[in-house]
Structure 1
Amino acid sequence: MDNQNKNMILATALSFLVILGWFLLFPPEEPPVQPERPVAESTAQATQDGIAIAPPAGGTAATAPLASPVEARSAALTASARLTIDTPELKGSIALTGGRLDDIALKDYRDTIEPDSPNVTLLSPVGGAHAYYALYGWAPGAGLTFEQVPGAETPWSLVSGDKLTPNSPVTLQWDNGAGLTFQRVISVDDQYLFTVTQSVTNTGEAAQRLAPYGIVARHGEPELTNFFILHEGVVRMSDGTLEEIEYGDMPDLEYVDREAARAEIIDVAANGWIGFTDKYWMTALMPAPGQNFLSVAKYVANADIYQTETRLPTQTVEPGQTVEVQTFLFAGAKEWETIKHYEQDLGFEGFVDSIDWGWFFFLTKPIFQLLHFLNGIIGNMGWSIIVLTLIIKALVLPLAWKSYSSMAKMKELQPEMEKLKERCGDDKQKMQQEMMALYKKEKVNPASGCLPILLQIPIFFSLYKVIFVTIELRHAPWFGWIRDLSAPDPSSILNLFGLLPWGVPEVGSIFAIVSLGILPIFLGISMWLQQKLNPAPTDQTQAMIFAWMPWIFMFMLGSFASGLVLYWIANNVITFSQQYFIMRTHGFKPDILGNILSGFKKKAGATKE
């Protein structure tokens, strides 16, 4: 391996270390909890077919702060009559005031790995902390006022159904007293998809024009993971184009209306959806496939409300006529199988891309699909990661064979390299020329050893992305003390891996870096052993850096997800085995133990001197 290639690898490794070190030593600050502000009725002044779209974002008054978020949420839930939601995946309620879906928890997911931990709360009502809800209604045309169409404070009546389940839809109704009767039929499947059918019947004497809409609103910026490889915020699909908008960018959106709301509006011709995505959860408005609509991302500055909206075309309702519009709402976990079903079977284009696959999506997607397939057979994500590593290493074996063969030859040339170094002294140019002549004579290509390393970098980042963003790894156990492959190894050398009675530093703290668990220690050892098979750099500075690299990586990756560390250990062990076997087939017999003992003897001798 010539100096240029060594420098390239060294620069890549050091850059990776710098990035890791920065985010471990200086993690992003936790966002402050946003206090509930008085909620104003926001009005977007964009028009569609000449009708102002002005859906209210929430109630008209703030709830006084209570002793705790739990009490505030409880009080907000009792502020309106409610209709129970009960499905295999969801539990919660619908507020009859406004007909809002504002109380949803996920039955299969808990906040922590403890079995008695609370279920994950997705949607919350206005008045509690972090209000987050879906709202539907109609925007008035000429001759109508907002008081004559349903909005955030409309007192809906229950017409049919006493509980929303997959087998029992519910029907809400409201008569405006001026010739228009509105109905809303809400149904839900056994996963996370709500169907909302809005209708209006004109019993008056004149035609009326109205525009149906849907809103998902969040009061204040939510608590974020705040990691650079993850998108949290608006996600939308517009006729095949995926767009992501961070919360921090929404106050700078292009369009500004009279209410100081900033918005970005896209005219979707046939297929699209829009909503808010968290790391594992999402709430998205989904017009029926083939439906044209306006897709709106909006920030209401005076109320600190983030909104996504779908504004459907204006409907003309003649006297005696009923007009009906059907839309959908996804509110749940971003499970790959579930959202793939909604995309492929129900026609919601690009819905699987709501998972943040990242720049290497062409690798991330197939890696996840293979991992998901293996987990379906094995039933354990930890063992599935190990089998996945075996498969990946088998696929790159032809490249590895050529690389390790070259390394074996270079290892055999090590004595010759030492002689060259003694003969050339400090003349680096002469040393380089002599090395190239030796490589040419022995038919060794020093650059061939770089290819597997370079190929492994995008695979590593793709697998890291899979482990970090996909919900299938969340709270997935391996065995023993590894109960969550998406979290760091909970064991620690500071308490002798649980043998001593005291605790360990909190994850994310500076002290957690030195609180090495069992997996990170095995990672360092596996990298160190693998390094013993590689030819040592002739440059002393490079040799020292490479010698320290396994232990630096051990500390740097100690706070990474256990699943990723497990992959790297498996990769190192398999790589070591492959390289050892290939080098022996070429006549070189690595003496690992001898090399280690020899290294210790040299260090001991240097210390005595």
Structure 2
Amino acid sequence: MDNKRFILALALSFAVFVGWQMLFPQPTPQSNNAANTEQASSEKASGNPLMSDAQKAVDAPSAQDFVPTAGKSVVVDTPLFTASFNTSGGIMERFVLKKYKEGIKPGSPQVDLVGGKSVPKGPMGIIIGRKGAETHTWLHGEWAYDGPETITIGEDGKAVLILRGRAAGFDIERRLTFHADSYLITEDLTLLNLEKTGTEASVAFTAAAKSMSAEDDNYNPTRVAWLSDDGRNEEDNREDLQTEGVSASGGLQWAAIESNYFIMSILPGSPEASLYASVQDGIFRMAVDQSETFMPGVNKTLTASYFVGPCDRGILDTMPNDLGQAVNFGFFDPLAKPMLIALVFLYKYVGNYGVAIIILTILIKILFWPLSQKSYKSMNKMKQLQPMVQKLREKYGDDKQRLNQETMALYKTYKVNPASGCLPMLVQIPVFFGLYKALLGAIELRHAPFIEYLPGTDMIWLADLSAKDPFYITPLIMGATMFLQQKMTPATGDPTQQKIMLLMPVVFTFLFLQFPAGLVVYWLMNNVLSIGQQWFTMRKTRNTTNEA
């Protein structure tokens, strides 16, 4: 295996790696047409808690000692977020993150993870399935609330929002607990069976959210993810979510609507819970339900939690139900997360994530310096043999088998191992892909500036390392450095192969035009360091040869 072929294989592997993720997202092991049955009224209500309540509603029992009140908005204000809930069922009308903005321009609004179009889908609503019918309690129920319209939680404080209602033959009490220092909302849902006989019923905790990223954003797709006995799974194909949806059961730990940067999740209190999720009218929906037996006149309390906030690994790792696995970088996760830890560590000292990326790239280069040196020395040895290899091609060009035999004999005579230049580089591939995945999905880089303005102008440039370079300067320079690397690398292989190699900088430049700037900065810096190391090795070899 010569070095040119290896580099070609590596380049093509990278192109396939990126292209495959864009065109063929990882399939989920389970899918269920019932997850989108809002258009399929023939399904039984107990089969899917996301079915339209207008299709399968039951009338609430007449009020006796329960006195309903008109629905109104209650605002819960904490140091981390401001959330609004409608007292008619407790659905979440908005959830605004105080520490995150939609864009980098002055006056950009804070991130609202709900969005107005999601409200009719009942985020954080309760659905009860009973006697072959299904009740969306926020639509077909009576509710009462006698607390304040604004609940303000100071530092280290907590508060409880209590809503009482009646629907589907149950008295309902929802107790939502908020903490000043957490994005986690815990719920105690108490149901009282008003009928004279026991009954089986399914109870679903729901979530609904607008897309958390652009629909065509292949590097940051909004998706449905979950953790169960089958491990962590996700689905980001919107067409599949619209037409088939997904379902999961068996040790369900959590289910989430998430992007690279934000998450809305449900953590059930029962291991017997099941997930149904879909995309309806452009809104991501999911319901986590469980079946229970309710005896007459006996209260039964079910529990669940909701985490609505940033995909901050440090925060998620402290959450119950192993929610830390919501942030996952796939096959390279074991490498990506340590690199992000190192990146955050460096940032604490330099105060700029662009500079931190450069320092991390230098450290990685130093770590692999001996391996790279071995590879470059092997390349130089191969280069010295190229005139002889060319003569063999001219002599045995029509006999490929003989050409290979003579070439290998030549390498053996001069004690050159063609693979010795490839193997050191092979070790570095997992590290590269791990850092690639890390920089692609780290919330730390969202709106993190490097060089905020184009030097000498007032034009915003690398003000957001999670977004592409608006002027394409860094990807073009990266392509130029890659081309220079190709010219410096010994020309091995046949002429056709050499021409293909010269096209690779063009292909990579095209790919990197849309990449997040943080990733381009890493690759550009890595190219510059590689050019410097290659030049140093070539110069040292030339001086040694001249002295000899």
Q: TM-score, normalised by structure 1?
A: 0.71
Give the alignment of 1:482-493 within 5 angstroms: 482-491=462-471
Tell me by how many angstroms 1:272 deviates.
Answer: 0.8
Give the secondary-structure state (helix, strand or coil) at the position aligned to 2:146: strand
Amino acid across the alignment from 1:185: R
Q: Which moved more, 1:519-528 or 1:545-554?
A: 545-554
Partner of 2:8: 10
Partner of 1:184: 174
Give the secondary-structure state (helix, strand or coil) at the position aligned to 1:156: strand
Structure 2 distance, partners of 1:175, 1:410, is: 80
Tell me by how many angstroms 1:328 deviates.
Answer: 0.5
* Match status 1:536 vs 2:491: yes
Give the alignment of 1:1-400 within 5 angstroms: 2=2, 6-7=4-5, 9-14=7-12, 16=14, 45=44, 80-125=71-116, 128=117, 133-137=122-126, 139=128, 150-166=137-153, 167-174=157-164, 176=166, 181-189=171-179, 190-200=181-191, 211-217=202-208, 224-226=214-216, 232-239=222-229, 241-245=231-235, 246-250=237-241, 253=244, 264-268=247-251, 272-288=253-269, 291-299=270-278, 307-317=285-295, 319=297, 321-342=298-319, 347-349=320-322, 351-400=323-372
Indicate the percent of aligned positions where both proteins have the same amino acid: 33
Pair 1:323–1:549, CA change in 2 (3 A)? closer
Pair 1:176–1:547, CA change in 2 (3 A)? closer
- Is the Cα contact below 8 Å between 1:57 and 1:217 reproduced in 2? no
Give the secondary-structure state (helix, strand or coil) at the position aligned to 1:293: coil
Q: Which moved more, 1:110-119 or 1:159-168?
A: 159-168
- Is the Cα contact below 8 Å between 2:276 and 2:286 reproduced in 1? yes
Structure 1 distance, partners of 2:276, 2:420, is: 50
Q: Residue 407 of structure 1 is aligned with which of 371, 379, 386?
A: 379
Tell me by how many angstroms 1:281 deviates.
Answer: 2.0
CA deviation string 1:320-349 (max 9, x = no partner) = x5433331111122111221121xxxx322
Amino acid across the alignment from 1:106: L
Amino acid across the alignment from 1:484: D
Structure 1 distance, partners of 2:282, 2:498, is: 55
- Is the Cα contact below 8 Å between 2:44 and 2:133 reproduced in 1? no
Amino acid across the alignment from 2:479: G
Structure 2 distance, partners of 1:100, 1:211, is: 19
Structure 2 distance, partners of 1:19, 1:211, is: 43
Structure 2 distance, partners of 1:281, 1:7, is: 41
Partner of 1:558: 513
- Is the Cα contact below 8 Å between 1:408 and 1:588 reproduced in 2? no
Structure 1 distance, partners of 2:509, 2:50, is: 54
- Is the Cα contact below 8 Å between 2:142 and 2:167 reproduced in 1? no
Structure 2 distance, partners of 1:490, 1:177, is: 53
Tell me by how many angstroms 1:583 deviates.
Answer: 4.5
Structure 2 distance, partners of 1:451, 1:41, is: 56
**How many residues align structurally?**
507
Give the secondary-structure state (helix, strand or coil) at the position aligned to 1:169: strand
Give the secondary-structure state (helix, strand or coil) at the position aligned to 2:448: coil
Q: Which runs of 5+ in 2 are unaligned?
A: 26-37, 56-69, 453-460
Pair 1:352–1:145, CA change in 2 (3 A)? closer
Pair 1:88–1:439, CA change in 2 (3 A)? same
Structure 2 distance, partners of 1:132, 1:463, is: 38
- Is the Cα contact below 8 Å between 2:88 and 2:138 reproduced in 1? no
Tell me by how many angstroms 1:483 deviates.
Answer: 0.8
Tell me by how many angstroms 1:451 deviates.
Answer: 2.7
Q: Which runs of 5+ in 1 are unaligned?
A: 29-38, 61-78, 254-261, 492-516, 592-609
- Is the Cα contact below 8 Å between 1:194 and 1:328 reproduced in 2? yes
Structure 1 distance, partners of 2:398, 2:169, is: 97
- Is the Cα contact below 8 Å between 2:130 and 2:168 reproduced in 1? no
Partner of 1:36: none
Partner of 1:463: 435
CA deviation string 1:430-478 (max 9, x = no partner) = 5544432332122111122223444444443333322222322211111
- Is the Cα contact below 8 Å between 1:412 and 1:588 reproduced in 2? no
Structure 1 distance, partners of 2:318, 2:444, is: 16
- Is the Cα contact below 8 Å between 1:371 and 1:385 reproduced in 2? yes
- Is the Cα contact below 8 Å between 2:45 and 2:133 reproduced in 1? no
Pair 1:425–1:27, CA change in 2 (3 A)? closer
Q: TM-score, normalised by structure 2?
A: 0.78
Partner of 2:522: 567
Structure 2 distance, partners of 1:158, 1:590, is: 88
Structure 1 distance, partners of 2:242, 2:507, is: 41
Give the secondary-structure state (helix, strand or coil) at the position aligned to 2:481: helix
CA RMSD of aligned residues (A): 4.1
Give the secondary-structure state (helix, strand or coil) at the position aligned to 2:422: helix
Give the secondary-structure state (helix, strand or coil) at the position aligned to 1:372: helix
- Is the Cα contact below 8 Å between 1:56 and 1:151 reproduced in 2? no
Pair 1:564–1:96, CA change in 2 (3 A)? same
Q: Which moved more, 1:385-394 or 1:581-590?
A: 581-590
Tell me by how many angstroms 1:423 deviates.
Answer: 6.3
Structure 2 distance, partners of 1:563, 1:395, is: 21
Q: Which moved more, 1:464-473 or 1:368-377?
A: 368-377
